[in-house]
Structure 1
Amino acid sequence: MSPRMPYQCMVQRGNLLIAARGSSIDSFRDGSLLSTWKCPSIQAAGSTRPSLEVTTELVTQHYETSSVEIYTDSAPPAKKRKLSTSGPVEANSVTKEGKKKQNSRSDAVQSGLEAPAVIALAITKDGRHVIAVTGEDKSIRVFENVQEDGVHRLKQLSQRAMPKRPCALAVTNDSSTIITADKFGDVYSLPLILLEISGTPKSATHTPEPAAKSFTPAANELTIHSQRNRKALENQRRQTNKTAEKSEPVFEHKLLLGHVSMLTDIALVALGVRNYIITADRDEHIRISRGIPQTHVIEGFCLGHSEFVSRICVPPDRPHLLVSGGGDDELFVWEWECGNLVSKADLKGYVSAVMQEFDRTEESDIPVESSKIAVSGIYCTQQALNDSFQTIVVVTCESIPAAFAFVLTAENRLEYLQTLKLPGNALAIVFGTSLKEGEFDVSNRLVVSIDTTHKLGSRTEEREDASQNLNPLQSYIFQNGKIVQDGTFQLAIAKQDEGEANGSGASGRLTNLLYSLENLRKREGDMREE
């Protein structure tokens, strides 16, 4: 038996838990499995594409090139010149010494899954609708929680393919609008419920773009004087006269704002009478924009990170604060409205203490103390601590088998509370949340999704057979000011599908889906985002 497929992302509303594993979405209530939705394969949907590309492009920017050879019958082939973009850069490049150099940004060309993987989830405040992003087809799918003949299931209401692959989701407080950010830096709004207008031509609902003016080479047959130049002219005409096929979405969607860098996270905040959209990107920026309909107004920035910002979180009981983390060694606490950095908290020291227990010499020659960290999750809850309710911030890092708990003090500082060691690398965490608007749930239970396919502290090495039956969803509770294992609560996991994460090399196929944030880190010679 192969290890169970881990859950890469989760959301919860009240006692309803929605969790995505690969291309499937499971729904739970009070620990019981209610239903499983499976994404149809690309081939089943009628696609002619031969294989799936990388399922997550949250952190992978593929620079695409094509070239045209200019030559004559008697002369050697000329140097290739980049003229347009049509195909992906190959994962392996050849160095001057003739050795192949692995490109870490494209180390998994295929996900190994038969259908597009779910890379982001969101849920409305009333828990009625679930929104999911399936990566390879760039689609936003909306589901409704329905119960038919006493059986609960997720009913898909719509599927909308976006121009670029979405990487982050949020839903407005009135549960009517989806806010989505993509890897090219754009933020769009879409109505939650897709309104179909039958018989309406595309031109009636969308303003057609003016036709692109075809390129005319400056040279012609009268100005060239060699066979080589004649061949070059023919190549120019053949390449530039091709009309680019550009299909725009036919459903309602509005561009709200844009970054010049890859977006990584988004948060919607209401402060006073005004709404805000807070966005984070790869270029160390946290941007504060006004909410709809004034999203073009930039209120300010929170500047201070020296590495990418991967996660932001606004504590529900202190909406004027923002906790952020990413590739830096610390967590940052901001008064985001004025862009003021209030405090920092060390994170790398606690991560290094955990990683000291694992032998990583086979994976890397870099000492544990000098290795980088990447924050994969920041979660806030309120718990009883020292005879009062305190704001607890729980943080996870990529490929680290632990969660780190901090107390957000009255002075807006993060004070270390506990390191919760896990039986697998942490992937996602959910807390109970209230169904009533304006009410913050203080449920003391948290569910942690762990990686069941890779060894602890590793993103490449597979687990041993002894841990193949490990439950990918672990339950914990706050008790006496600490987080402890909840032995009385067990989540019923769906039956393993045939071929799901099966066979040798399973971890390699899932690595890019589960561990992609470290690729956000800029390296010397990296191309800047366009």
Structure 2
Amino acid sequence: MMSSAGLELCGHALVVRGGSLFLATSTSSSDDDSLFIYDCSTVEKKSQEYKGADGQSEDKGTDTILASTFSKSGSYFALTDDSKRLILFRTKPWQCLSVRTVVRRCTALTFTASEEKVLVADKSGDVYSFPVLDQHGPGRLELGHLSMLLDVAVSPDDRYVLTADRDEKIRVSWATAPHNIESFCLGHTEFVSRILVAPGHPELLLSSSGDRTLRLWEYRSGRQLHCCHLTSLQEPAEPWGDKRFAVSRITYWRQEDCVALLCDSLPVVYLFQLDAPRQQLVYRQQLPFQHRVWDVAFEEGQGLWVLQDCREEPLVLCRPVGGQWQGVPESAVVRRVSAHLRGNWAALEGEGACLPSGWRPAAGAAVEHGARRAGSHLCEGGHGWVGHRGGDPAQTLGVSPHQGDCAARGRGQSHAPRSAARPGGAVLSAPLEDSKC
């Protein structure tokens, strides 16, 4: 799988991305086996988006997904890609809401706690905000750094915007007046790769850097509370012990105040516990794997999901057993989600998207089932395939491909999605045209 592979979790919603494609499904143990697939490479590119200042065409990008995130409630999902687009989705049910252009390629994004805006950080050091409810509203420049931004976060009360840059700085700005700076968190000696406001502890910030440290801050004052040197935790026999690496993910489990740290696709995850009363991080253990780990994410009530570079076993679920974290026997949920990934592995590696095996488009303009009618399920942007692979084998599985915008279909107007769920959870959608890979 490509190095752009990523994993996002919110509630029972799980997203795996790779190349220009992402797959969304549920980790619920219910019989719901729905799968949503979206391919950024099918989104129509507007030629005017790629004209430079001299009028010459610029690099159009590869459509690779660069960053993605859920909103706090999990109701929305957003991504940015290498073709300078911000794509917004509703998740209940999954539906593409808008495709908007950003000024420069983005490095990170986050929703405000109120879910009214998406904040997008780019390689030039700027943060733009885009409205969520006004789905076609333009971006607004909020703040800027002198160097590339690598991460962005907001405080749980939406009062502060926190930004991390390539020049070792973490800045805390007022959200309502970003030119007013509350503090700087200074201490890292190399680029700051990740920042995370600790869930349940709104005054505390976790940060990681190319200096191979994990730090804890009281971010409003800019005071460093604790610093862990990852090099001191490595075993001498580890083959990567003498290599430089950066933290690619910090994720947090509120259930036990557990912090998981992943470094540049290494086959190991570092686990810490946040001791908030003592304002320190306590190292617990290393969790080794047989394959490179691409990403990790906690699911409350379940444990740590690990995405690894192994087609036969792409996902591992880990839980604390007897005080030590370890992989647990593969459950029905892990088998189901892993089967989805194996069925789309080539596409996740960047070889293009294909209709999942065993699926077929619904025939005709609509599908009837009892008193319910499934109409067009439109997705503005790229392909949005919704289907179901369980229950009655005679069920018709719906596919709703969409290429380009509404204007390309002739009327130039926005269409509301009209989809109906069949008994048993199947989502049926009438195709706009024949589906082909």
Letter in 2 for 1:431: F
Letter in 1 for 2:340: I
Letter in 2 for 1:123: F
The answer on whether the counterparts of 2:98 and 2:135 sit within 8 Å (CA) in structure 1 is no
Which secondary structure does the structure 1 equivalent of 2:235 belong to? helix
Tell whether 2:180 aligns with 1:180: no
Residue 266 (structure 1) aligns with: 152
1:339 to 214, 222, 245: 222
Cα distance between partner residues in 1 of 2:145 and 2:3: 32
**C-alpha displacement at 1:497, in angstroms?**
6.1
Which secondary structure does the structure 1 equivalent of 2:103 belong to? coil
Which secondary structure does the structure 1 equivalent of 2:340 belong to? coil
Matches within 5 A, 1:35-184: 35-41=35-41, 45=44, 116-135=63-82, 137-147=83-93, 154-184=94-124
Cα distance between partner residues in 2 of 1:138 and 1:448: 29
Matches within 5 A, 1:480-519: 480-489=322-331, 490=334, 491=337, 492-494=339-341, 495-496=343-344, 501=349
Which secondary structure does the structure 1 equivalent of 2:161 belong to? strand
The answer on whether the counterparts of 2:21 and 2:350 sit within 8 Å (CA) in structure 1 is no
The answer on whether the counterparts of 2:190 and 2:211 sit within 8 Å (CA) in structure 1 is yes
2:193 to 295, 307, 310: 310
Tell whether 2:242 aligns with 1:406: no
Matches within 5 A, 1:112-511: 116-135=63-82, 137-147=83-93, 154-195=94-135, 251-270=137-156, 275-291=159-175, 293-350=176-233, 352-353=234-235, 356-358=237-239, 369-383=241-255, 390-409=256-275, 410-432=277-299, 441=300, 443-452=301-310, 469-489=311-331, 490=334, 491=337, 492-494=339-341, 495-496=343-344, 501=349
**C-alpha displacement at 1:128, in angstroms?**
2.2
Which secondary structure does the structure 2 equivalent of 1:270 belong to? coil
Cα distance between partner residues in 1 of 2:346 and 2:289: 27
**C-alpha displacement at 1:184, in angstroms?**
0.5
Q: 1:401 to 1:85 in 2, by over 3 A?
A: farther
Letter in 2 for 1:129: Y
In our comparison, the structure showing a higher alpha carbon Rg is: 1
Which secondary structure does the structure 1 equivalent of 2:232 belong to? helix
Cα distance between partner residues in 2 of 1:253 and 1:123: 19
Letter in 1 for 2:21: S
Paired residues in the alignment total 339
Cα distance between partner residues in 2 of 1:498 and 1:313: 32
The answer on whether the counterparts of 1:10 and 1:429 sit within 8 Å (CA) in structure 2 is yes
**C-alpha displacement at 1:280, in angstroms?**
0.3
**C-alpha displacement at 1:87, in angstroms?**
9.2
Q: 1:270 to 1:470 in 2, by over 3 A?
A: same
Give the alignment's Cα RMSD to 1 decimal. Answer: 3.0
Q: 1:46 to 1:170 in 2, by over 3 A?
A: closer
Which secondary structure does the structure 2 equivalent of 1:493 belong to? helix
Letter in 2 for 1:144: R
Letter in 2 for 1:126: S
Cα distance between partner residues in 2 of 1:277 and 1:289: 5
**C-alpha displacement at 1:6, in angstroms?**
7.7
**C-alpha displacement at 1:126, in angstroms?**
2.8
Residue 103 (structure 1) aligns with: none
**C-alpha displacement at 1:167, in angstroms?**
1.3
Cα distance between partner residues in 2 of 1:322 and 1:488: 34
Residue by residue over 1:70-125, the C-alpha shift from the partner in whole angstroms, topping out at 9 and shown as x without a partner, is: xxxxxxxxxxxxxx89799xxxxxxxxxxxxxxxxxxxx999xxx61112111123
- Long gaps (5+) in structure 2: 352-437
**C-alpha displacement at 1:290, in angstroms?**
0.8
Q: 1:502 to 1:281 in 2, by over 3 A?
A: closer
**C-alpha displacement at 1:269, in angstroms?**
0.5
**C-alpha displacement at 1:179, in angstroms?**
0.9
Cα distance between partner residues in 1 of 2:350 and 2:121: 33
**C-alpha displacement at 1:498, in angstroms?**
5.6
Q: 1:502 to 1:156 in 2, by over 3 A?
A: closer
**C-alpha displacement at 1:335, in angstroms?**
1.2
Which secondary structure does the structure 2 equivalent of 1:328 belong to? coil
Residue by residue over 1:242-281, the C-alpha shift from the partner in whole angstroms, topping out at 9 and shown as x without a partner, is: xxxxxxxxx422111100010001111036xx71111100
Cα distance between partner residues in 2 of 1:87 and 1:195: 27
Cα distance between partner residues in 2 of 1:34 and 1:262: 39
Residue by residue over 1:341-367, the C-alpha shift from the partner in whole angstroms, topping out at 9 and shown as x without a partner, is: 1111121233x428x344xxxxxxxxx
- Long gaps (5+) in structure 1: 53-63, 66-83, 89-108, 148-153, 197-250, 359-367, 384-389, 433-440, 453-468, 504-530
Cα distance between partner residues in 1 of 2:211 and 2:194: 12
